[in-house]
Amino acid sequence: MTNQMQQIQITPDPYAPFNLSQGITIGDLLFISGQTSINGEGELLHSGDFMAQAELAFKNLDNVLKAGGSALDNVLKVTIFMKDMRYFEEIVALREKYFTYPYPADSIIEINGLFHPEALIEIEAIAVKNEKFVDPKN
């Protein structure tokens, strides 16, 4: 296992102007920056639509994980920042859609604001590279 940090490269990279990485790998671990409902140019999409923003945030998370040699199945910990906890049940449904057993550890935090006044959700994650869970019960 190498201990050298490497930036996860996404093209186009809407985070580059802000001097931050989409994600960093070190050894077999990936640390993924908060993913939101943005396109490749950094424009917020789906203003006012929580579910559409959340779906795109999960898809952007998946894209960064894949670029780093991982996948949603390999997420160990996820932190979800939301502007309104009324959408908690929707988050539970999306976690079931995008993650598999054993579901990742999770923190869901209601906050006052995100990078854009109309952003409703941001998702960050910690994952491992190319690992699959083996159920010890089988």
Confidence of residue 132 (pLDDT cuts 50, 70, 90): low
pLDDT computed for residue 131 by the predictor: 58
Rounded to 5 degrees, what angle do the CA atoms 19, 72, 112 make? 55
User: How many CB atoms sit inside 10 A of residue 63's CB?
Assistant: 14
Confidence of residue 130 (pLDDT cuts 50, 70, 90): confident
pLDDT computed for residue 23 by the predictor: 97
The domain spans of the chain are: 5-128
Q: Pick the more confident residue, 87 or 1.
A: 87
Question: Class of the 5-128 domain?
Answer: alpha beta
Q: For the chain, give the number of residues.
A: 138
Residue identified by tokens 């998946």 is: 62
